[in-house]
Amino acid sequence: MISAGLRVDSLTPHVSYAYRSTSFKAEDINHDGVTTGITFDNKEDNIGTLTLGLRWDFVESAAIKFEYTHSSDKSSQTLKNIYGERNSVSTFAMGIDAVF
């Protein structure tokens, strides 16, 4: 994972990127505890996630945060055939932090 942010007055934009790559061998692949019997070597499970966000300190003791995250599955077709198609997902979140 790599992240970067920069505070400019009361605004703090940030970006993060994460990538997970896992290699599997035939004996590692099973579904619900049952071996599939499919033989292959070194297939990969690859998932990437990008996050963009903004924090605004609108008063000294409170901030509002916005965050957009997009994850996509770039796994090999063999793994998708075993575990099913994993679609891309996008989320938007908002939150308010306050100090009393």
Q: What CATH number does residue 49 fall under?
A: 2.20.200
| pLDDT at res. 81 | 62
Contact 5, 26 (CB under 8 A): no
Q: Rounded to the nearest 10 degrees, how much is the dihedral formed by the CA atoms of 10, 60, 98, 14? A: 20
Is-above-0.85 flag for pTM?
Answer: no
Residue 68 is part of which domain span?
2-98
Query: How many structural domains is the chain composed of?
Result: 1
Series of mean pLDDT values for 10-residue runs along the chain (100 residues): 96 94 61 58 75 96 97 70 71 95
Largest CA distance in the chain: 61
